[in-house]
Structure 1
Amino acid sequence: MHRGYLAAFVLFLHLGSGLHAEPIYPILHPAAVARLRALVRKSPADTHQVQRLQGLGEYYLHQYNGPGGPADKDSAYACSRRAEALSTTLGYKPGQIRSRYLLSYLLFDSGQPAEAQRLLSAAINLSRRCGYGQLEAEGWYYAAEAYTGPNHDLAGRIRCYQRARRLYQKLGNREKDAYLLKTVADVHYTQGNYALALRELLQVLATYRAIGHPRLHYTYDLLASVNCSMGNYREAIRYGLATVEAARRSHDTTDLPLFYARLGIANQEINQLPEATAYFEQALLHAQRENKVDQVLNAARHIVSTRLAQGQARQALAFYSDVLRQYPPATARVELDAALALAECYMALRRYDLAERQYLKILALEAEMGESYRNRFMAYQKIGNYYMTVQQYHKARHYLNQALALNKQGGSLRRNGNLHLLLFKVDSAQHRYRQALAHYQRYKALHDSVFNEKKSLQIASLQIQYATKEKEQNIALLTKQNRVQQVSIQQKEFQRNATLGGTLLLLLLSGTVYNRYRLKQRSNRLLEAKQTEINGKNAFLEQVLRDKEGLLRDKDTLLEEKEWMLKEIHHRVKNNLQIISSLLSSQAVYLQDPAALTAVRESQNRVHTMGLIHQNLYQSAGPSLVAMQAYIPELARHLVHSFNRQDSVRLELNVAPLSLDASLAVPVGLILNEALTNALKYAYPAGQPGPVAVSLQLHEGQCRLTIQDTGIGLPAGFDLHKSSTLGLHMIRGLSRQIGGRLQIQHTGGVQISLQFTPVKHPKPSLALT
């Protein structure tokens, strides 16, 4: 098979009905198409001419399925017929096979399924007889694409994809195998099987990264849409930003308008209207640059929806009317979407007569398009809302129920909730109170789900701002968070410890990931600025306390306020540690080196270890004591889940009801974190099952912490006294800090035990046996 021919065959695998179709090979640029036309006119009748004719046919078919019309379909058919005839004359079997694939698609589209199936089966059988494994795999991919439309057999489509995958796996083609798995995930997403689609897409992403695949943006885009449909808006926005970044990095900006539009939709789902409008305007700008009329009108329609949501109906109508004058719709689908936008403007202006004209036009166009119109559920929702407004409740219920059924196939939680709210109003108006109550309860459940997701949006916003280099806004947000802190002398001690711990972690990470050094330096300066501000506020508050000393006579009240302030600072320290963890997580998205990713994850676990201490402190009854019986199990389970060992490693916990001072609990927690991390990573390789025992007991005034596994033990020749690994270095140093006695045994596994005095002031002794 000629490699040049394979590169020329670029389009027919892009003809599927998936919502996030990615071409298996790059689409021909218009300049390349012009060169092909010139070569076809003057080149001899050889195999290269076959390839050129097929390339032109594929380009015309792409235009027909996109912004073009019947003329492009006729051109695609003519080029494909010429290519098949020339391939037959030359006896060029790869040309015959590919030409028949393309012709069969055209026949399917023209309503001739029997002839199309005959051509397709003959081409697949010919590729099998000739031993063309690559061509046979492409044939099964194409056979899957014959299952188009929502009413067709999606299970049969997946079976064809799986046959193509097996052939690519046999050929050792990991890239095409991953591509087909992504296509299967797209089908599962269309079916509404979001959890399965998400697992498959994460597997695709891991494979693409392992082989250095340059075009990750289509996978990121599909991950963003799946998370958006599941209500995981934070992840949807994160993957949406990664989509845009990856598209720019690979210089494949063809679908940038769609990527920006989907980012806008994710923000619109959580009612972040200014951010959504900004992304829609970016989509409009890029579509105008590429002169893509359908994408221009799509972006403009979304801008109209955000303006209507902000009460700007007249501005929205004027804006969209101006866009329609510059870019008149060229296809029925775009004309239908334009009618939807105009109808919404008229509804907002209460011009129901003009809105009715647009809705009747929509119903006519929708009937003409049939199953090819994918936004039918949106049209039904808007029409149902119109009929409810004009009090034609029977029609309103009919269209809203149809919209609800279609939305379940790939819609969002917010739209689902809005549909239930509209049905509640319709049933209430007709005194169907039992049905109305059921719809309202469903609306509230979905609304609360979206609202709860918005609570985690602040961290996502910080990640977005760091990714887009808006550091000044980050500083302002963090400063506002710290203005409400009221501190005392003990507060300064805890805050200083948190700052030093964060700085140490950032320095360790910078040594592992040197190319992120400058970002870490900025973070250090930010933390120092925060510390300076807190110190200044401490001095001010101390002066205020001295000035008003005569007024603070109630000792009980003073103690309560002091305890409240201590709990508040523990809460703030825990939040700051979570921000550091988020920073590490945001950097991990862009790392390719497995060692760097491991270092980042272990640093996150150390930050989480300290964060649990402060969470325990502000939740406990005592202001400075950590309940180890609650803290150690929570930390151990977090680490097991972090390393995905919950199905293979069995935790055996024996923790006495002890409470330690925070100055002891922090180093003890870090020692436990390092010991458990080593056990989870190395004790049971290749996913082998086994126990890991953690014990903390008090005997004769001494605490004894033990972490033990029955795994493979330490490597042969491993010298504990000479080892300089980071984990052992931290364990030794922290044991010395609390004046503990450390013992490490490696007979029948590894046992690490630490004996220390449960008092606030550590001893300077350390023994290692």
Structure 2
Amino acid sequence: MIEFLSKKLVVFALCSLSLWSVMAQEKEAVPKLFQEFKSMQKTDERFHYFFSTRNRYIDNSAYDWQAMVNLYHNNSKKEYDSLSVTKYEIMQAQLFYDIGDFSKSVAIANNLYDNLEGLDLEEKRILLDLIDDNYAKLGLYDRQFEIRNEKKKLGISDKVVFYDIYASLGLHRKAMDDYIKDMLKTLGEDDYFGQAEYQNNVGTYLLLDMSTPTALTYYKKAEGFINVYLNDISRQKTEQEIIKGNLLKGVIEGNIGKCYARLKEFDLAIPFLENSIATIEEYNMGEFFKEYVVNTLELSDCHLQKEEYGKARELLLKVAALNSVDNIVRRNGLLAAYFDRTGDYKNSVDYLKRNVKIMDSLNKNESSMKKQQLAAVAGQEIEYSKKMMEEQKLDLEKSKSDLQAKDERIHIVFISLIFTLLGFAGLVYAYLKSIKNQRLIEDQKKIIEASLVEKDSLLKEIHHRVKNNLQMVSSLLSLQTKNTRSKAAIQALEEGKSRVKAMALIHQKLYQNDDLSVIEMQGYIESLINSVQSVYKKGGHSINITIDAEGVELDIDRAIPFGLILNELVSNSFKYAFPDEVKDDGNGKIYIHLNKNNEKGYFEYSDNGIGLPEDTDIRENSSMGIRLINRLVNQLQSTLNIDKTTEGVRFWFNFK
């Protein structure tokens, strides 16, 4: 992984070396921000100026700023000014990030992160955002979760989001669904800028997912909202808000142009791309903007497709400073196409070879890394969902206890008031006052009931998310099965997937239930049997299955072990108990009995198959399935009993 990241960083570093000199040459009439920074005397002034100046590299490159910050940092060390040293090190981390040396940036930032308690809230926010951005650039998406969780704990953000991470891992549809679910709750109808940004982001997820016509529809909506925002004279806007709005408009126009280009409508694409590039050039204020490069490359491609080779070449030479490996590969491919169409085959082959070298260095470990990252992120989201569910449970219990305490206080006040009024105003006045207080209590009860309904809805949503996450784990196991040749490994993965489905079904039943504390076992067992039968299609549906669990309800701590036990027993019956001739003639039988009376319960499972082999030693637990069943029965504080009969086998145990 380190080798892969180092190769990727070399490409980034090479393309970043020319970035800052290009920007300095393009804008010469802008005030000397670097000189103003040097003229400041206090570290706090320099720190706030550095991070509040978004176009700081307009007249001097990042390397000039880095040299000056290093000088200030060394002077602060000599003066033993630890607070100033910390601020300059945060600036150094940001400068390494801007240059493209993400490894050094995150190394400095992580060192400061170890002493996070010594920083003020603004410094913590800048540092954590920087670490988050570095991990995104380095492809360490699982590490981003830790940083985002820390930001939530500190109150810097109100939630931990995953959709941008899933988008980076290529799961654009899931990223879009999570983004829509989060953003729709916060958008106001009159927030035209927010609506434009939302529609544009949804369109981008769809474009990445190759749904170009649908993406174009969202981009058109975004264009409408941003035009309303910019033309709304009833609402005053600051200069920064106007710049921000126009930049978003330029991005949206570029996205519309890219959609038309993918649809091969180049005459429609070119005006939108040209307007986008012009808008970003006008309002970008010297800061490097990735959409500018992407749109310029797309416009060059359009001219190539229209055989306007001179315009295409001019645009390709214009974007000498690239900010990502994807842009380098795209530009090399376009230059190869240009030289091929103009007859310069030597240069065409040269640029194609460059792309081959880049892709070889990137693709070597990228696929396996993405799988590892996806599994890690999915696991973290499951853990986060479980933690949220526990927090919701604790909040619900606390709310109930608070409400009980409040009821007790109300009753005490009510009784005291009655006695006070009896002493001062007599029985009639006390009676009227009690009626008024009773109405107040009823209103409080309604509020409590509404709160409980809301908590139940949240718990159902959590169970729904846990079920979805377990289904994702099942999908990952299916994906691994397709890439595995060993029959034993495939069988183990399929068994694991079946067990995950059994647990997912528990959470599905919970969020579908009105009562979130228990599961009705008759329906659950029927659903579980159907799930197992769908796996063992050959002969599985010709076996007669009798389920006797009507009226039995179990909590989730008992239902999950029962589901896994039953999943093992039924799977074993389908796989081993019935020969093909028994499956075909319909004489195979399975009997499942579950009974619970007050504190005592009884479970029995039997089939009339060929039974266990004579040499099976149950105590040694030679079977993986029986070992698992024994552990699950022990979890229920009971002991598994197995009877070998002439007609199959019988498993049974008592439980509390």
- Normalised by the length of structure 1, the TM-score is 0.43
- Normalised by the length of structure 2, the TM-score is 0.49
